[in-house]
Amino acid sequence: MTDDLSALLTGLTPTPAKVEAYRTDTYVLETVDQLRESGVDATEFARRHAMLLLKPDAIVARAVEPTLEWLGANGFPVVGAYRVPVDRHLARALWYFAWNIASPERRRLADLLVGISDALVLLVRGEDGRIPVSVRLTEAKGPTDPRKRRPEHLRYVLGRHSYLLNLVHSPDDPADVLREFAIYFDERTRTGILAADHGSDAVAHAARLAKDLYASTPERGFDRADALARLRSDTGAAGGTWSDDDCARLLYDAWARDIDIDPWSAIVLGSHVLPMRTGTQSQTLRPVTVNDWLEGRP
């Protein structure tokens, strides 16, 4: 099985290190086993599908409808929509092979973020061409760094918020599709997805799910100054001019003293003033680009 899975993965990612890491990964194994038992070709499934995760910050930003519009206009038809509970474990599962460079502060902010609301996962399906759907979607979505986004990118369209508050996530390549399919969905849900005819009502269903999520999640702003003002009020801190270091100390002190501060304001301010990466570790698996895919394929 391991040798067969290695051969399968070699065709689904241009990254040898990912093949090595994923050939014994529980989530990949679950998806591949279920696809085979269901008579679904794993390679075709992985190449033709992608998932787009609208994180809790996307729900706060009311970003579902513009995302659906952008997907339709850019050739990424939505064939399924699913409300997914999120917690610290799901975040670590998704980014397990990349978060070894995340700072403790980033992990703390991410843990606050997953407590804001459930998420929405959109299943996207397209024709299998030279570049798989997931690779095309990742490129079109735009990079994590707001400074590198262009007007045609989804993340640019949704708003240039911050490195952490980037609203959406998608699998880099078909190998990641296999892995993330089992992270988002349990076996019963996956069975239903594989058996569904994926009719044309997926977009309308996504809009209904968004309405439900909005009803339980207040809309909030992403303005740094507003976040600082709220946190000053929560902690009793004085006004005046606040540098990045001052803002960081405010957060560190509030956490050390276990003060009850507004989580969303802490996320917004922290995303601007706290370190996102640690310089002591190297990334296990770097993101895959279209060029990586084209250069790694015959």
Question: Is 13 in contact with 174 (CB distance < 8 Å)?
Answer: yes
Question: Is 165 in contact with 269 (CB distance < 8 Å)?
Answer: no
For residue 19, the SS3 value is helix
Half-sphere exposure of 166 (CA within 13 A, CB side): 21
**Would you give the distance in Å from CA 93 to the centre of its chain?**
11
- Position 1 scores a pLDDT of 55
Question: Does residue 2 carry a pLDDT above 80?
Answer: no
Give percent of the chain with pLDDT exceeding 70.
Answer: 95
Name the segment(s) of the chain with CATH classification 3.30.70.141.
2-218
- Position 120 scores a pLDDT of 98
pLDDT-based confidence at residue 294 (cuts at 50, 70, 90): confident
Dihedral angle of Cα 193, 199, 200, 204, to the nearest 10 degrees: -50
Q: Domain 2-218 class?
A: alpha beta
Lowest mean pLDDT among 32-41, 211-220, 239-248, 289-298: 289-298
pLDDT-based confidence at residue 15 (cuts at 50, 70, 90): very high
Question: Is 124 in contact with 51 (CB distance < 8 Å)?
Answer: yes
User: Measured between alpha carbons, how far is 245 from 248 in angstroms, rounded to an integer?
Assistant: 5
* pLDDT tens column, 177-202: 999 999 999 999 999 999 986 666 99
User: Measured between alpha carbons, how far is 59 from 64 in angstroms, rounded to an integer?
Assistant: 7
60: closest CA among 113, 12, 128? Answer: 113
Maximum Cα interatomic distance, the chain, rounded to a whole number of Å: 65
